[in-house]
């Protein structure tokens, strides 16, 4: 029997989101959330009854059309028109796990009772989530301000029986899906279309997804770097706690501690070294990896605040008897955080590729390109090329999106965050890091095999045992793309406990 997560004012954090997703929990509204939603809707109905005062997006047009008054009999059509006209997404399809996160985060935001939506609308979104009905959404179209308008319009279309959804492994028309479940399309009431489209759930879902992957990759970067450290026969002194206590950045200290834990009991680590110093890509692992950890913690705080916030507009404050038009939909905090996350993760790839380069350079009693009979065999020459090309691409992808802005809506929306572009770029960077680390793992595993007179630590050897059953020692040249793909799949399949990766 599936567990249920009750949507309430309980704080959502990364570990809870991870638990909901991985345990395939269903969603339901708590009594508190139901009350919040109903009270907000009832207040709005009462407020608008016999009231001709213009209230943005409720009885007016949108954007630069905010001064156009809409008659009461057309308010429902206004909201439906909003959803249809704003569904202008293009580009690639948003990955399904991110769509599911968008549903979760939109439901959470609407549950606080500041949006004025019908409870039936929120419950239908929950039905979509629980039945794995995922609206088809595109990556391009959001400026990251006024909310993620185009992506969220595509998220909302199936409520009206329009657009497409993924269901049962297929892409089908929403109208077909509605009939299959014997549902009626939702008739949007005043304010609802705006509540659905205003919001940062596209950027937020990408951010949460990227953070979950980044924390795991940060851990794996330390582990793979530790393997490379032994494979390159490096000194252990740069990881001594004394070094880091006199420059105690939290991430730096944590990285040094983790490298020492991974290599505890290593025969290679304890052996006498011929080299007084090691290249920066080894010696400065704590400083570089640690800076990324500190960035992850900063970005985590930003997104934790965002996913527990109300980001549509206008907001309804029942106690104060106010409906206020503001700008909580503006994605600037997320845009900056996503750019920062992409830059910090790209650095894990940059330093990883440098370690790979050192390993194939024929230094420290390792054969050139880590292969017997080099010349006849090219060995690990070209995987380093591949890593270098990906690192170069990441440098291009980490050009900040948040410094750009293009005027829209006839000048009404004259500064936008471009956080949605930052979000999609950030995911590409992080997926690239997975491949770069997989290539380093291939090289480090191969290099360790040439040091069989001494072993690495019990932890490293136990980690490498299943890996080597998938990517065995390369004696002679073979199609190495298959080994790279297998290495990426190995890292993807690793399940690391939340208490380890979020600490």
56 is catalytic: yes
Q: Which fold has domain 206-501?
A: Fumarase C; Chain A, domain 2 (1.20.200)
H/E stretch holding 26: strand 26-29
Residue-by-residue DSSP string for 143-188: -SSSSSHHHHHHHHGGGGT-SEEEETTEEEEHHHHHHHTTPPPP--
In the chain, domain spans: 4-199, 206-501
pLDDT digits (tens, 9 = 90+) for 202-214: 999 999 999 999 9
Helices (H), 158-240: 174-180, 192-197, 201-231
Strands 315-317 and 170-173 come out as unpaired
| pLDDT averaged over every residue in the chain | 94
Interval 257-280: pLDDT, tens: 999 999 999 999 999 888 889 999
Say if residue 352's pLDDT is above 70.
Answer: yes
Characterize 78-107 residue by residue with b for buried, 16 or more Cβ atoms within 10 angstroms of its Cβ, and e for exposed: bbbebbbebbebeeeebbeebbbbbbbbbb
Calculate mean pLDDT across residues 355-372.
95
pLDDT in tens, 85-111: 999 999 999 999 999 999 999 999 999
What local confidence, expressed as pLDDT, does residue 452 receive? 80
DSSP code at position 161: T
pLDDT of residue 429: 98
What is the arithmetic mean of pLDDT over 396-419? 92
Residues comprising the chain, all counted: 503
Contact 246, 220 (CB under 8 A): no
The terminus-to-terminus CA distance of the chain in angstroms comes to 31
pLDDT average, residue stretch 404-414:
88
Give the residue-averaged pLDDT of 326-333.
Answer: 94
The answer to whether the beta carbons of residues 228 and 255 sit under 8 Å apart is no
Grade residue 499 by pLDDT with cuts at 50, 70 and 90: confident
- Answer whether residue 75 shows pLDDT above 80: no
Question: Residue 8: its pLDDT value, please?
Answer: 83
What percent of the chain is modeled with pLDDT above 90? 84
In this prediction, residue 72 carries a pLDDT of 67
Task: Work out the average pLDDT over 26-39.
Answer: 96
pLDDT for residue 76:
83
Does residue 171 contact residue 443 with C-beta atoms inside 8 Å?
A: no
- pTM for the predicted model, two decimal places: 0.95
pLDDT in tens, 442-482: 999 999 999 988 999 999 999 999 999 999 999 999 999 99
Contact 390, 400 (CB under 8 A): no
pLDDT average, residue stretch 105-121: 96
In angstroms, rounded to a whole number, what is the distance separating the alpha carbons of residues 64 and 449?
66
Q: Choosing from 6, 43, 56, 167, which is the catalytic residue?
A: 56
Q: What is the pLDDT of residue 63?
A: 61
Residue 54 has pLDDT above 80, yes or no: no
Whether the predicted pLDDT of 17 surpasses 90: yes
Residue of 284 and 500 predicted with greater confidence:
284
User: Tokens at residue 283, please?
Assistant: 């010696």
* H or E element in which residue 173 lies: strand 170-173
- 4-199 — its CATH code? 1.10.275.10
Strands 164-167 and 134-135, how do they pair?
A: antiparallel
Task: Identify the pLDDT of residue 147.
Answer: 86
What is the CA angle 338-304-116, rounded to 5? 105
Q: Confirm if 152 and 201 have CB atoms less than 8 A apart.
A: yes
pLDDT score of 60 more than 80: no
Q: 232 in helix, strand or coil?
A: coil
- Look at residues 423, 396, 428, 427 and name the one whose alpha carbon lies nearest to residue 141: 423
Instruction: Assess contact for 165 and 171: CB atoms under 8 A.
Output: yes
3-state secondary structure of 429: helix
Q: Does a cis peptide bond (omega within 30 degrees of 0) precede residue 314?
A: yes
- pLDDT, tens digit, for every residue of 364-381? 999 999 999 888 899 999
pLDDT in tens, 283-303: 999 999 999 999 999 999 999
């Amino acid at each position: 029997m599936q567990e249920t997560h009750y949507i309430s004012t309980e704080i959502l954090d990364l570990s809870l989101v991870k638990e909901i997703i991985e345990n395939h929990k269903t969603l339901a509204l708590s009594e508190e959330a139901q009350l919040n939603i109903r009270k907000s809707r009832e207040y709005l109905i009462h407020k608008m009854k016999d009231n001709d005062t213009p209230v943005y997006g409720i009885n007016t047009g949108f954007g630069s059309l905010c001064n156009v008054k809409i008659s009461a009999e057309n308010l429902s059509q206004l909201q439906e028109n909003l959803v249809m006209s704003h569904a202008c997404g293009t580009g690639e399809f948003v990955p399904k796990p991110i769509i599911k996160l968008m549903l979760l985060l939109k439901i959470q935001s609407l549950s606080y009772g500041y949006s004025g939506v019908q409870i039936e609308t929120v419950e239908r979104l929950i039905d979509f989530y629980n039945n794995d009905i995922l609206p088809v959404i595109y990556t391009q179209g959001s400026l990251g301000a006024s909310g993620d308008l185009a992506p969220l319009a595509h998220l909302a279309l199936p409520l009206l029986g329009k657009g497409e959804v993924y269901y049962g492994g297929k892409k089908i028309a929403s109208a077909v899906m509605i009939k299959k479940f014997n549902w009626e399309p939702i008739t949007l009431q005043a304010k609802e279309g705006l509540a659905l489209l205003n919001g940062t759930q596209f950027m937020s879902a990408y951010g949460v997804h990227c953070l979950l992957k980044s924390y795991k990759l940060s851990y794996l970067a330390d582990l793979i770097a530790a393997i490379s450290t032994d494979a390159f026969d490096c000194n252990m002194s740069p990881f001594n706690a004394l070094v880091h206590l006199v420059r105690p950045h939290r991430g730096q200290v944590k990285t040094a501690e983790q490298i020492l834990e991974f290599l505890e009991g290593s025969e290679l680590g304890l052996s006498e070294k011929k080299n007084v110093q090691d290249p920066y890509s080894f010696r400065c692992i704590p400083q570089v990896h640690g800076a990324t950890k500190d960035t992850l913690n900063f970005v985590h705080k930003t997104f934790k605040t965002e996913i527990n916030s109300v980001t549509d507009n206008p907001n309804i404050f029942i106690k104060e008897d106010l409906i206020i038009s503001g700008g909580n939909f503006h994605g600037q905090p997320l845009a900056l955080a996503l750019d920062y996350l992409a830059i910090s993760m790209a650095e894990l790839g940059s330093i990883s590729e440098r370690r790979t380069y050192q390993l194939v350079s024929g230094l420290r009693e390792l054969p050139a390109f880590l292969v017997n009979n080099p010349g006849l065999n090219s060995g690990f020459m070209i995987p380093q090329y591949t890593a270098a090309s990906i690192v170069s691409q990441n440098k291009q992808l980490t050009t900040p999106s948040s410094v750009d802005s293009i005027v829209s809506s006839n000048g009404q929306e004259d500064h936008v965050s471009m956080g949605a572009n930052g979000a999609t770029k950030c995911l590409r960077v992080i997926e690239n890091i997975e491949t770069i680390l997989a290539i380093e793992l291939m090289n480090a595993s191969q290099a360790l095999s040439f040091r069989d007179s001494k072993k690495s630590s019990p932890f490293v050897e136990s980690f490498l045992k299943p890996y080597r059953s998938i990517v065995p020692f390369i004696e002679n040249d073979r199609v190495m793309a298959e080994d790279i793909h297998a290495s990426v799949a190995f890292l993807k399949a690793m399940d690391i406990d939340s208490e380890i990766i979020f600490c």
